[in-house]
Structure 1
Amino acid sequence: MAVPKKKTSKSKRDMRRAHDSISAPGISVCPQCKEPKQPHRACASCGTYKGKDVLGSEA
């Protein structure tokens, strides 16, 4: 069974984990209702995507 010969330092351990953090999702603004929304998705408040009504008139 593989066993490390030397202890991995805190610096090396943390450098290896530097890319594992998660980032916040991108936020854009709906051109119709000016509410925040995720890019490339229909607006949850007004139901439009690229200027077209795709979710029906729920608002």
Structure 2
Amino acid sequence: VEFIAVNTDAQVLRSSSADVTLQIGSNVTKGLGAGADPNKGREAAQEDRETIRQALDG
């Protein structure tokens, strides 16, 4: 099993023990996270949907 951590917050990802970490939405959030705003989270995922798809495809 390979774990993938996906987050908008770069600092949180640095402390992750997941096999793969993906920071998404760096243009939307400037790397600071979505601040629990679901709309920003959605925008971040849409911004990096291809990166997410590639990670899931392995």
Shorter-normalised TM range: under 0.3
> Is the radius of gyration larger for structure 1 or structure 2?
1
Q: Which has the higher contact order (CA 8 A, sep 6+)?
A: 2
More helix by share: 2
Normalising by structure 1, we get a TM-score of 0.23
